[in-house]
Amino acid sequence: MPDECDVSVIICTYNRQHLLKTALKSILSQQADGLRYEVVVVDNNSTDGTRQVIESFLGRGATNLRYLFEGRQGLSYARNAGVAVSRSPIVAFTDDDVQVAPDWAATIKQTLDDHPEIECVGGKVIPHWPSAPPAWLTNEHWAPLAIVDYGQKPFYVNAGHQLCLLTANMAIRKHTLQRVGGFLPELQRVENSIGSMEDHELLLRLWSIQAQGLYVPELVVSSRIAADRLTKSYHRRWRFGHGGFYALARIEEFERSPSGFFLGVPYHLCRAASLDAVDWLAHVVRGDLNRAFTCETRLRFFAGFLNTRSRDWFLRRHHGPRPFQAA
């Protein structure tokens, strides 16, 4: 393969060898039409047969496939390692439980070529359900499942129109990603959490330098939804973890609180939580358990935020500031 290529696709994986096989089949079967693309699989300290899966594809002639081991645990470490060895000015991300459309890589390249004013591009993440989803799982609860569908019309995503593009289906110009410092491993500090927000935080840094992206509905991937993610217990844990990540990131717009703070938590969040608690109780009394659960997930987010922020507040009072604050 030449030293340079048109698109570098980065897939980070950890102990998901069976899912990885399907993901690699889709990405290595692109309708490239002369497009030069490489696939860098970053093994993030797997203990299963991940390396053997990749070697089996290499043995069958996948010359554009590369294996990279990253021993530091965490998705941000793995992504940054993949970016560091990539050989293209365009870096595309997808996941090990995702199947990309046959024209995925070509659509990324064409879109960024046609739109020099954008720095990143993203599209739909369509769910592949293991069974019929429960009635309570409306689009209000799509975030924990990493589902994205903003409709059939393209639009810009920027500081004035802040919608999240997910790295299950996103590409960015490499020099821009390097300019904002890549992904932040510090955001992985929330213990036992599953509510990662590295994608959103990266977009916030892009918007802070006036960069913009483009949502392209023709850019499609499908994501296999694990059965345990259709349970309320999973969504409760995800929302709690997501709240913890927001507490760590200290996003400026989120932190503004003219009324002050309680244990490091902005008062506006405390007021919102009190209203959610009242709404939760009202829905329970009326027997509307689906709406009650929606209120509960917001309360779980607040609980995660309060847990992380109050712990940091006490540490700051006794030991000084923590070393990390997101830009």
Tell me: do 35 and 132 sit in the same domain. Answer: yes
Segment 151-162, tens digit of pLDDT: 999 999 999 998
Spatial CB neighbours of 271, under 8 Å, sequence gap ≥ 6: none
Segment 62-120, tens digit of pLDDT: 999 999 999 999 899 999 999 999 999 999 999 999 999 999 999 999 999 999 999 99
Contact 53, 20 (CB under 8 A): yes
* pLDDT higher at 321 or 228: 228
CA contacts within 13 A on the Cβ side of 23: 27
Tell me: do 20 and 85 sit in the same domain. Answer: yes
Structural domain ending residue among the three candidates 174, 208, 228: 228
Residue in 124, 147, 251, 155 with CA at minimum distance from that of residue 198: 251
Return the CATH number at 89: 3.90.550.10
- The answer to whether residue 327 is domain-embedded is no
- The answer to whether residue 324 is domain-embedded is no
User: From CA 97, how far away is CA 38, in angstroms rounded?
Assistant: 19
Q: For the chain, how many structural domains are there in total?
A: 2
Domain that holds residue 301: 232-319
Mean pLDDT of the region 305-315: 81
Residue in 138, 121, 140, 120 with CA at minimum distance from that of residue 180: 120
Tell me: do 182 and 287 sit in the same domain. Answer: no
pLDDT for the residue numbered 324:
44
Structural domain ending residue among the three candidates 228, 249, 274: 228
Tell me: do 200 and 140 sit in the same domain. Answer: yes
pLDDT for the residue numbered 263:
81
Mean pLDDT of the region 205-212: 94
Mean pLDDT of the region 20-40: 94
Tell me: do 200 and 56 sit in the same domain. Answer: yes
pLDDT for the residue numbered 309:
85
Tell me: do 224 and 240 sit in the same domain. Answer: no
Tell me: do 220 and 279 sit in the same domain. Answer: no
Structural domain ending residue among the three candidates 185, 207, 228: 228
Spatial CB neighbours of 269, under 8 Å, sequence gap ≥ 6: 302, 305
pLDDT for the residue numbered 327:
38
pLDDT for the residue numbered 196:
60
pLDDT band of 47, cuts 50, 70, 90: very high
pLDDT for the residue numbered 1:
45
Whether the per-residue pLDDT at 124 is higher than 90: the answer is: yes
Whether the per-residue pLDDT at 251 is higher than 80: the answer is: no
Tell me: do 239 and 221 sit in the same domain. Answer: no
Quickly list H helices, 250-327. Answer: 252-255, 267-286, 289-319
